[in-house]
Amino acid sequence: MAELLEFRNVSKIYSRGLLSRVSTTALDNISLRLDAENPTIMTVAGESGSGKTTLAMLLLGFIAPTSGQILYKGKDIHTLRGEDQMKFRREVQAVFQDPFAVFNPFYTVDHLLSVPIERFKLAKSKSEAKDKMVEALTAVGLRPGDVLGRFPHQLSGGQRQRINVARALMLRPKLLVADEPVSMVDASLRANILETLRGLQKNYGVSIIYITHDLTTAYHVTNSIVVLYRGSVMEAGDVDTVIKSPQHPYTKLLIDSIPWPDINKRWGETEIKAREMELTEQGTGCRFYSRCPFAMDKCKQDPPLFQINRYQAASCYLYEQHSVIAPEKLSDLLPA
């Protein structure tokens, strides 16, 4: 099986200070495998500080892991040079959260689309390039005449984000990292953008890693989910199972706190214990320990992933009766 992208025991630790080094573990021993034949569409869910942004930056090759390797088609991405590096760049793309920040305010919005066409040699002539841009813009529901030639501040947030998605469509990457693509977009437009992303995976075989803290959209768009908390995997598996019957106490808290737009589903009675997240780094052990209503002494030891059923596992001693699954096998839990 051709491995498209592989994370092998990747950890990222940030340290500060000259004398007394304070280190923060942004990601702890994460392993993932994405293969080219079965494009996945998975969610990486977590709050701020969970490591999801670090994961995105590592995936895109913007930062290097402290330990472990990130392989693209078998080669470490930080050793790629020349044509291989261009290929990697072309095939791994992103849609970011802020629709405005991705545009260079000096240029019209065409710049966002024309630059990759030029750099990746996607068109042989100016008219072919224009055609490609028009095709992509139409596919996301925009009228090219309304947006081409405009400056970013002249368009609405929704239009801008659609242009971002159009860019991704146009490049037909193998892997798309979507970092909170709809959180800054109006509710009525979210459906449209999410539908496009789903379509990318179904029709064009693009693997999508959807990073978010909004589990309702995650449920709709993706097939599998990995829940991160302060750098470690808390729960992972099929998205329907995890969201409808969460096992890990943290996942339960998350699901409970979702403001469902349904007056019959009020916020749960799960008390939010230990109100404040400790801002200082805690040592080894389960990351959720200080906020967990079920915390036990043995939780001071980092719990492994226990496989609860075929497509669900939780890293919590409440499930120790189940068999342990090694972190390297995380991707086996995630249905395509």
Partner 1 sequence: MTPVLQVNNLQVSYYTDAGRARALDGVTLALAAGEKLGLVGESGSGKSTMALAMMRMIKPPGRIEGGQVIVAGTDLITISDEAMLQARLSKIAYIPQGAMNSLNPVIRIGAQMMDAIKAHQDQSTSDWISTAEMEKRCKQALESVDLKSNVFKMYAHELSGGMKQRVCIAISILLRPKVIIADEPTSALDVVTQRQVMETIDRVQKQIGAAVILIGHDMGLMAQFVDKVAVMYAGRLMELSNVRDMFTDPKHPYAQALIRSLPNLENKGVFNGIPGMAPALLQLPGGCSFHPRCPHVMDICRTQRPEPTALPGGRIVECYLYPTKA
Partner 2 sequence: MTTISLAQPAIIQPSRLTLFLRYLRRNKSLAVGLFILLLLVIFTVYGLATVDLNHAYPISVKSKQPPSWEFPLGTDFFGRDLYVAMVVGLKETAIIGLLAGALGTFIGVVLGFISAYFGGWLDMGIKGICQILTPIPALLMQVIIAGSLDKRDVTIYTMAFVVVLLAWMGPTLVIRAQVLTMKERQFVSVAKLSGMGDLGIIFSEILPNLLPFVAAAFVNQVFYSVFASFYLAVLGLGPLREPLLGNTIWAAQAQSAFFNNWWWWPLAPAIALVLILGSLALINMGMDELANPRIRKTE
Binding mask 208-247 for partner 1 (x = CB under 8 A): -----xxxxx-xx-------------------x--xx---
Least Å distance between CB 222 and partner 1?
Answer: 10
Interface with partner 2, residue 12, by CB under 8 A: no
- Kindly list the distances between the CA atom of residue 57 and the CA atoms of 53, 82, 101, 150, 190, in Å, as whole numbers in the listed order: 6, 21, 16, 30, 24
Cβ proximity to partner 2: between 159 and 251 the closer is 159
Q: Which ranges of 67-125 would DSSP assign to H, the alpha helix?
A: 82-91, 110-119
Q: Which does 96 bind (CB under 5 to 8 A by kind): partner 2, partner 1, none?
A: partner 2
Cβ proximity to partner 1: between 220 and 329 the closer is 220
Residues 150-163: b if buried by 16+ CB within 10 A, e if exposed: eebeebeebbbbbb
Angle between helices 110-119 and 157-171 (to 10 degrees): 10
CB of 211 closer than 8 Å to CB of 183:
no
How far apart CA 177 and CA 70 sit, in angstroms, is 15
Interface with partner 1, residue 130, by CB under 8 A: no
Cβ proximity to partner 1: between 132 and 162 the closer is 162
Query: One-letter amino acid identity for 106?
Result: F
3-class secondary-structure state, position 198 = helix
Give the residue from 291, 274, 289, 286 showing the smallest Cα distance to 315: 286
| Span of 10-18, 25-33, 63-71, 255-263 interacting with partner 1 by CB under 8 A | 255-263
Q: Which does 62 bind (CB under 5 to 8 A by kind): partner 2, partner 1, none?
A: partner 2
Identify the residue among 16, 81, 153, 275 touching partner 1 (CB under 8 A). 275
Identify the residue among 146, 256, 278, 281 touching partner 2 (CB under 8 A). 146
For the record, the structure tokens of 141 come out as 């529901």
Least Å distance between CB 202 and partner 2?
Answer: 15
Residues 69-95: b if buried by 16+ CB within 10 A, e if exposed: ebbbbeeebeebeeeebeebbbbbbbb
Interface with partner 1, residue 258, by CB under 8 A: yes
Interface with partner 2, residue 288, by CB under 8 A: no
Interface with partner 1, residue 48, by CB under 8 A: yes
Least Å distance between CB 138 and partner 2?
Answer: 9
Site residues for partner 2 per CB under 8 A: 60, 62, 86, 89-90, 92-94, 96, 98, 101-107, 112, 115-116, 119-120, 139-143, 146, 150, 154, 192, 195
